[in-house]
Amino acid sequence: MRFKCINAITRIKEPVWERVFSANVFKDSKKFEKCYRQKMVSILTKYSPYYEKDMEDYDTEGEEDDAKEDKKKSGLEILKMHGIMSYAQTMEWKGPLSYRIDDTCVIDTSKQIYGTIINTQTLEHASPVSLAGCKKIMTIENKANYESMQYDENTLYIFCHGYFTPKEVYFLKKLSLIVSKECEFLHWGDMDFGGISIFLFIKDRIFEKLMPYRMGVADFEEALKKDAGIPLKTSTREKLQKKDAGLLTELKEAILESDKTIEQERLL
């Protein structure tokens, strides 16, 4: 049954709801979640080309998650990468982006100053064609911070929601080809293990020139002064110590020294 399940995962061509997948494979809509989800997560964590080291920690990081909820949520990111959805997947942005649906019409989203949302099916048929006047592209990890950013005709704000799926990566990589060479690429996320990991993922997979925004040591220390710190979990601390944080190495050391992390929403 495990082989049957993993074989079905490798054949997914279009995103599918978790319970629909379960019904198709086991004739039982809840069997995958109850009996096979964690087994498949373990296999995909070991062998999937989409897996990023310690990706599962983004699923479970958070001071309010108890052990039961941690186990329930663990692995959602890697399953999403392979097309198994436990919640509605959408892509959101606001800024001067125009995209084409298949080979037909071009849609200019610059008029939607409060943001544009497309679902997975639209994403599969969409291709960016223009970023006229865009001088800055910023990915933002958390929804509250994304919503707080006012429309700017020179900036494209993209809601990150964690790790981007392969289809999102494919779509977003094309932005580098249509934007001016002077365009800045920035990422604003949590100052914690997950935030560092997501920044590195985007820099490695999508925007090579990506730089951190409000994720420096000075920003971290200022947030601590405002009592915005959250205790660093012991298990997360051990993994953070081993992680190559790249451009965020100084932030990593500040987190380890203070034994605190900062959620992006606390900076609003």
Query: Could you write out the DSSP letters of every residue in 46-112?
Result: HH-TT--TTTHHHHH-STT--HHHHHHHTTHHHHHHTTEESS--EEEEESS-EEEETTS-EEEGGG-
Low-confidence ranges of the chain (pLDDT < 70): 54-74, 87-88
| Residue 138 β-bridge partners | 157, 186
Judge contact between 162 and 77, C-beta under 8 A: yes
In angstroms, rounded to a whole number, what is the distance separating the alpha carbons of residues 175 and 161? 19
What's the confidence (pLDDT) of residue 54? 66
What's the confidence (pLDDT) of residue 66? 41
What's the confidence (pLDDT) of residue 89? 75
Q: What is the pTM of this model?
A: 0.79
What's the confidence (pLDDT) of residue 221? 95
What's the confidence (pLDDT) of residue 64? 44
The single-letter DSSP state of residue 114 is: T
What's the confidence (pLDDT) of residue 86? 77
Judge contact between 259 and 237, C-beta under 8 A: yes
